[in-house]
Amino acid sequence: DFLRLESQAKSIGWAFASLENQKSNCYKACSSGLNVRVNIVAYSNADKVMSVINMLSDIQSEFGLRIRILNDLSRIESSRNNIKTICQKLGAIKNSETLRKASSNKVETWVSESGMVFETKEEYPYYLDGICQNCSVKNICHEGFYGLRLESRQGEYFIRLCAYKNSSDVLIPFKKFLSSNIAEEYLRLLVD
């Protein structure tokens, strides 16, 4: 499954070594006192996602590693069903829910029967008119408007409004963005 995510062909040995390296990095980061969260995309069936959660449970119980399960934006409905199945298998009860304004995501915190705390993050297409209305890639966009991203490029700050495009209408110099109509639209969403 890990190999399927790679754009270039890799060996099964590379995949096993890479996964063990990632687990080791999580362990080292947690043991050094860092607040660590692992995102797991529910792109395959619920049992495979459960095996990843089980693999990380020892690090979580020892260090408080945060685990977040994300839905797969290319297969939203089947991914949501997988997350629902995982919560049921864990006997999880929802503890809290946060919907981030002016974005395309909702985070829920769950507690399993065994006391394991984990999060689910559900992203859904949310389109901001000023950015998405006349977008040339809207028909293949699974995410929509995710939120603002601040980027530094050659010492200058930019606001990125879209994860899929690099054109000047979605990658705007920070100062120019502050006086734009899109900034006004975004601020209205935050206030509403």
Asked if residue 16 has pLDDT above 70, the reply is yes
Stretch 7-27: mean pLDDT, rounded? 88
Work out the number of other CB atoms within 10 angstroms of the CB of residue 118. 24
pLDDT one-digit tens code per residue, 114-123: 999 999 988 7
Q: What percent of the chain has pLDDT over 70?
A: 95
The predicted model scores a pTM of 0.70
Q: Report residue 174's pLDDT band, with 50, 70 and 90 as the boundaries.
A: very high
Q: Report residue 57's pLDDT band, with 50, 70 and 90 as the boundaries.
A: confident
DSSP for 81-150, written as a single string: HHHHHHHHHTT-EEEEEEE-TTSSEEEEEEE-TTS-EEEEEEE--B--HHHHTT-TTGGG-SSB----EE
Asked if residue 101 has pLDDT above 70, the reply is no
pLDDT at 183: 87
What are the residues facing 156 on neighbouring strands? 153
Those residues whose C-beta lies under 8 Å from the C-beta of residue 170, and which sit 6 or more positions away, are 131, 160, 161, 162
What are the residues facing 160 on neighbouring strands? 149, 171
Rounded Cα distance between 89 and 112, Å, is: 9
